[in-house]
Amino acid sequence: MDIKYIYTSVIGAVVGCIIFSIVLFFVNPSVFTKNNNVEVKENKKDITPIVINSSSIPEATEKIMPSVVYIDTKSFTKVNRPVANIFGIPAYRSQVVPQKGSGSGVVIDKSGLILTNEHVIHGATEITVTFQNDESYPAVIKGSDPVSDIALIQIKTDKTDSEIKPAVLGDSDKLKIGEPVIAVGSPYHFQQSVTYGVISARGRNLSDQSKDFQDLLQTDAAINPGNSGGPLVNLKGEVIGINTAIIPYAQGIGFSIPINTVKNIVNQLNESGRVIRPYIGTSIQDLNKHLAYYLRYDGEPKGVVVIGVSKGSPAEDADIRPNDIILKADGKTLSSSEDLRRIIRNSKPGDVISLDVWRNGEIINISVTTAGN
């Protein structure tokens, strides 16, 4: 092929492309313009946000404040004091000395019943309660429960029902992670102090040398010594927890007892001064994929496996057996052992709990009646 012909063809093609581009530019310039508009797909899902306006916190605070009290206690404790002697041998003398304590509480009934922590009034021989208006009244212990760290006291007063403003108790089961809350109490004797935060987590377990807490609410609302026994409140002004503990070496990690756990305990303390805990008599464990494979359960590995059954227990009477997989309790799907413990804990001795149980490839329904311990 002639070289001259090839050059001519190439030059003609290039010139043709240039001419075509110039014409296209004048006809439709947007072809050469970068489109910076990004198409956004509209999310049709309706999401209802939690609306917090400038008055939400003040309104909730104003609603709860008349119900929050400062608790001052006096007790006596025995201490060993060193004493001098002529022989120079260390010696000690036991001596009883007065001791003061303080905390917070919340009024829950027009009769003057006040909810607080057991460790606030533990060993107290004298209790004084001070309200928002600085009026103070003596109080007596109606009942206390060291296990849950809940106590119920009652003021001695001639105040009428209309003068006592009990708080509204909410529903802690409806709380959501991230939901705004406020903590009210008297940290370091600074009475009627308010802090703000959110629900950081639910179902926290916490143990120390004297307490073994289960199913606590975690919040970053500041909780300090003196806040113990005070309420954790939602933006409706409802009590959804009782502040009880902190991690002293951390910041923004406080814990509250869910109010739904407290309700059953308070009723028992008011009636008998003590708490009888319901039980069914099983040892349980979370279901996982390994246990599911071992038990030949081909469903979703979510539920509670029965490891053992106590002799003479309600579980044995109801024919619950080891290796049973409990999927639901009272119609609620169980995701963990704590879910079942919570349902039992919030029941009363004599209540009947309906269980959906998987056994050898079949799902059966078992009704078990709780007993008191």
User: Where in the sequence numbering do the catalytic residues fall?
Assistant: 119, 149, 228
CA nearest 366: which of 296, 315, 322? 315
CA distances from 210 to 119, 148, 207, 213, 263 (A): 10, 11, 8, 10, 23
Query: What is the residue whose two structure tokens read 């509480």?
Result: 105
Crossing angle of helices 259-272/337-345, nearest 10°? 30
* Signed CA dihedral, 33, 37, 38, 41: sign only: negative
Mapping DSSP to helix (H, G, I), strand (E, B) and coil, where does residue 129 land? strand
Cα 247 vs. chain centroid, distance in angstroms?
15
Phi, psi of 275 (to 5 degrees): -115, 125
Alpha helices in the chain (DSSP H): 3-27, 56-64, 118-121, 259-272, 289-295, 314-317, 337-345
C-alpha–C-alpha distance, residues 74 and 129, integer Å: 12
* Signed CA dihedral, 325, 331, 336, 339: sign only: negative
DSSP of 58-122: HHHHHHHGGGEEEEEEEEEEEEEEEE--TT---EEEEEEEEEEEEEEEEE-STT-EEEEEHHHHT
What the block records as the tokens of 118 is: 């057991």
